Amino acid sequence: MESNGITKKNGGMEGDHELQFLLQGGELLKVRSTSWIKPRYFRLQADCKTMWQQSKKTFNTNQTFSLEDISEVRAGRQSEGLRKYTEEQVEGRCFSIIFKDRHKNLDLMASSEEQAKQWISSLEKMISNINSLNSQQKTEHWIFSCLTKADKNKDDKLTQSEVKDFFSMINIDVDDHYTEMLFKECDKSESGYLDGKEIEHFYKLLTHREEIDVIYGEYAQTTGFMSPEHLLNFLVKEQREKATLADAHKIIEKYEPDENAKEKKMLSKDGFLMYLQQPDTFILSPEHKEVYQDMCQPLNHYFISSSHNTYLMEDQLKGPSSTEGYVRALMKGCRCVELDCWDGSDDEPVIYHGYTLTSKILFKDVIKAIKEYAFKTSDYPVILSLENHCSVKQQAVMAHHLSSILGSALITSPLGEGIPTNFPSPEELKGKFLLKGKRLNKLEAAADNDTDVTEEEEESIGENEQKEEEKSKKKKKLQLAKELSDMVIYCKSVHFQGFEYARQKQSFYEMSSLKEGEAMKLTEESANACIRHNMEKLTRIYPAGYRTDSSNYNPVPLWNAGFQIVALNFQTACTGMDVNQGRFLVNGKSGYILKPSYMRDIATEFDPITVTRGDWLKHKVLHVMIISAQQLPKVNQRKSSIVDPVVKVEIDGVTADVAVKETYVIENNGFKPAWNENFQFNVYVPDLALVRFVVEDYDCTSVNEFVGQYTLPFNSLQMGYRHVPLLNKNGDLLPSARLFVHIMVLDAE
């Protein structure tokens, strides 16, 4: 398919050494256990993004995976499997391919260190090349790979039946009459097949976007081209941007593909579309992608991205525990992870879900993984939430591992002079770890070397739902190793005994953990009291024990009540996790979001349930027009299965702002469905509101199937004509799929 005019099939890498190496491929050993280490042949397919692996067994089907699904290529024995099943001397020959979704890692061993290095550098280069393609190139890359697959006999020509297959691949159900009409229009040579320029013409007709023509035509009124003045008019009037004529000139210079037009300082329709497909022109404000908030406030003034049962990969009864759970959560910007610690054999503490069949991992391996991945996505502090069920002897081992692995990055004494009176800020704690756990005494007493246990700590250890085995146990004196106790500085776990008790008896660094039900009840009964409590203290909320499937609750009402550490099961794809990702999408994905000022003022009257007059009330009217979608993926890979898309727009925030509206259903078109439907929402407390766009595949007989979604804070919306990227259920970007919308936010009359 060389001659089809789609030149971006491998991002202009023809003749590249790394590309050639992968296209030729080679044999690697696949490692699954000590006894299961087998040769497999791997090579890159002609679409330059699908890896193919062949097994020598005759009845085995050959498997493929896309380079777009790889999150990283990890050199050496850096996965649990390779550490467990291979010897140290093969370190240099090993590498792992880690996938974005719930796929198992691919653990591989090359024949030599040189070969391993070549595989790693070639894969990394191709992945980075795919990631750096712009939207236009991704579209072309995707269409090219579908055209290649549709060309069954690989003769670089498309027959009418191959065109029909191609439509099915790109998720559009076209009747024979339409296929024939389009085919005839492109088959200028009347040869019965399309090749070369004809395929290029076919591609142009296919990707033509009528809605863009309309917008372009409105602003390019005189010459059929957009002058810098026309473009500026569009940016200011439609997109509500503070743009200048110089900005318009820069856009033309950067995005106009036609050299003649560029010379005349004009923007063609293609250039206009190229510009609208740049990530900075998408719905999320580019200023909010960076750290833009004040990071010098006390730690408890922020919402903190937090994970529960971080070690689990699946459910809480029999799923595997894995250090990968920590890696994935930290890479997603999570800043508070949970370690459920129990006595292990050979005096080595282990982490797993107590009293269940989940597998066990070594405490020290978890701390090593955390150390390596903690600050790759965000520089801001990580809280290690200890769920400590260990004997005093193994707690001392925990303390040793924490101190020897984390070293000076672990906070083991208060910052500054004397006894602290307030939390340090995320800025002061950059690159640091805080331990959350039990402590034998108060910090104030530690200064006098007083290690008596205070009354409120005389409770059974562990915030986990009380197991049957534990219910019969009497409350006992805290059994705690002094070495571990002394490491707890700013996050000392204490039992919650009501707001009044906390205000009078608890120090600022003494924090409670509440089960979701208890927290929701407090939120409903006394949200303002919750907000005031969280101005002085930190609180962690965790999912109820009955959620054995690791499902999640909606975190929004709890954030609205000022709770900072609202922990979710990061291993579970669900609406709660989508909303969490949306909340922490901004501020440089730092995992810290500054609460609005009225949630940081001790005299606040703010109550999220009865939003009365106050400076939080900034009544806005949101107008959303869902115009169209592009290249929605199939939900079902059956050849005959085509998506019937419906779009929902959801607002989540204070009680008065919660709302959902949906479009009508478009039958059999996932390629470029168009709705042009308008919705209007009243938003009273924009600071706390989130907007979620969800695309579903309509099903009249059962529940709709999820296609993709995108959630972002209301205050981070860009106005005007915007593309909305779509994420899959695991929160990873769908390469070419997006919505096209028009957004307008107005002050209510």
Is 242 annotated as a binding-site member? no
Is 156 annotated as a binding-site member? no
Listing DSSP states for 405-445 in one string gives HHGGGB--S-SSSSS-SSPPPTTTTTT-EEEEE--SS-HHH
Is 285 annotated as a binding-site member? no
Is 338 annotated as a binding-site member? yes
Most distant CA pair in the chain, distance: 95
Work out the number of other CB atoms within 10 angstroms of the CB of residue 276.
22
Q: Is 396 helix (H, G, I), strand (E, B) or coil?
A: helix
Q: Which two tokens stand for residue 82?
A: 């390779």
CA distance to 144, 365, 408, per residue, from 311 (Å): 40, 11, 24
Q: Say if strands 733-747 and 720-727 run parallel, antiparallel, or are unpaired.
A: antiparallel
Is 438 annotated as a binding-site member? yes
Is 171 annotated as a binding-site member? no
Is 340 annotated as a binding-site member? yes
Q: Say if strands 382-388 and 336-342 run parallel, antiparallel, or are unpaired.
A: parallel
Catalytic residue numbers, as ranges: 308, 353
Is 52 annotated as a binding-site member? yes
Which among 664, 720, 665, 724 has a CA at the least distance from the CA of 691?
Answer: 724
Backbone φ, ψ for residue 163 (5° rounding): -65, -40
Q: Which amino acid, residue 478?
A: L
Is 559 annotated as a binding-site member? no
Is 549 annotated as a binding-site member? no
Q: Which amino acid, residue 720?
A: G
- The end-to-end CA distance of the chain, in Å, is 58
Is 117 annotated as a binding-site member? no
Is 402 annotated as a binding-site member? no
CB-CB contact of 309 with 336 (8 Å): no
Is 728 annotated as a binding-site member? no
Is 33 annotated as a binding-site member? yes
| Owner of token pair 């009330």 | 617
493, β-bridge pairs: 511
Which among 365, 375, 405 has a CA at the least distance from the CA of 80?
Answer: 365
Is 34 annotated as a binding-site member? yes
Is 513 annotated as a binding-site member? yes
Is 41 annotated as a binding-site member? yes
The residue length of the chain stands at: 749
Is 644 annotated as a binding-site member? yes
Is 506 annotated as a binding-site member? no
Cα–Cα distance for residue pair 56/346, rounded to 1 Å: 42
Is 44 annotated as a binding-site member? yes
Is 50 annotated as a binding-site member? yes
Is 48 annotated as a binding-site member? yes
Q: Which two tokens stand for residue 109?
A: 């061993």
Is 512 annotated as a binding-site member? no
Cα–Cα distance for residue pair 727/721, rounded to 1 Å: 20
Is 697 annotated as a binding-site member? yes
Is 55 annotated as a binding-site member? yes
CA distance to 165, 166, 363, per residue, from 179 (Å): 10, 11, 60
Is 309 annotated as a binding-site member? yes
Find all residues with CB under 8 Å of 445, minimum gap 6, and list them.
Answer: 451, 452
CB-CB contact of 297 with 539 (8 Å): no
Is 365 annotated as a binding-site member? no
Cα–Cα distance for residue pair 286/586, rounded to 1 Å: 9
Cα–Cα distance for residue pair 545/49, rounded to 1 Å: 43
Half-sphere exposure of 700 (CA within 13 A, CB side): 5
CA distance to 7, 134, 378, 451, 732, per residue, from 279 (Å): 22, 8, 21, 56, 15
592, β-bridge pairs: 304
Cα–Cα distance for residue pair 585/685, rounded to 1 Å: 19
Is 45 annotated as a binding-site member? yes
Strand segments, DSSP code E, in 277-363 are 302-307, 336-342, 350-351, 361-362
Is 668 annotated as a binding-site member? yes
Is 30 annotated as a binding-site member? yes
Q: Which two tokens stand for residue 605?
A: 């009257």
CB-CB contact of 310 with 332 (8 Å): no
Is 387 annotated as a binding-site member? yes
Is 540 annotated as a binding-site member? yes
Cα–Cα distance for residue pair 306/591, rounded to 1 Å: 8
Is 185 annotated as a binding-site member? no
Find all residues with CB under 8 Å of 749, minimum gap 6, and list them.
Answer: none
Known binding residues are 30-57, 309, 338, 340, 387, 436, 438, 513, 540, 642, 644, 668, 697-699
Known binding residues for Ca(2+) are 309, 338, 340, 387, 642, 644, 668, 697-699
Known binding residues for substrate are 30-57, 436, 438, 513, 540
